[in-house]
Amino acid sequence: MSILAVSDVEVYTLWWIAVAVAFVVVIVAAGLLTNILVVARNIGGNVSTILGAGAKILENTTRLRLLVSVYGAVVPIRTTALHINEVCAAIAGHAKACRHCPACVSPRDGGGRRVAGPTLGTW
């Protein structure tokens, strides 16, 4: 069996070199892990922002679904408004042509009783 002839100074020197290399490796590893931690936190912040935008999109999409019911209510209102417009135009046309319009609107006989007058359909 052969034993290497190494002095105590050389052993301590090699030991301190190994400790220094290990220390440098730990420092580099800690730096890399810190970078990973910073990137992960940035990703977490970005995810929160994206989720907030997604919630706003969902809210707007929900409101868009309500437009179907609003449209269902607006169509009959439009139909009624067009009918009212036609009736008003008929009344205006009758008022231009009729000199005794108050009598047409509320005709009364000699005794003060109301008499049936023209209807909107006759204009």
Instruction: Give residue 72's pLDDT.
Output: 85
Residue 88 falls within a domain, yes or no? yes
Does the reported pTM lie above 0.85? no
For residue 104, tell me if it sits in a domain: yes
What residues make up the domain containing 115?
A: 21-122
| Sign of the dihedral through C-alpha 87, 93, 95, 98 | negative
pLDDT, block means (10 residues), the chain with 123 residues: 74 94 98 96 92 91 82 90 92 78 59 54 48
Residues facing residue 108 across a β-bridge:
114
For residue 2, is it within any domain? no
Cα distance between residue 40 and residue 38, in whole Å: 5
5 occurs within a structural domain:
no
Tally of domains in the chain: 1
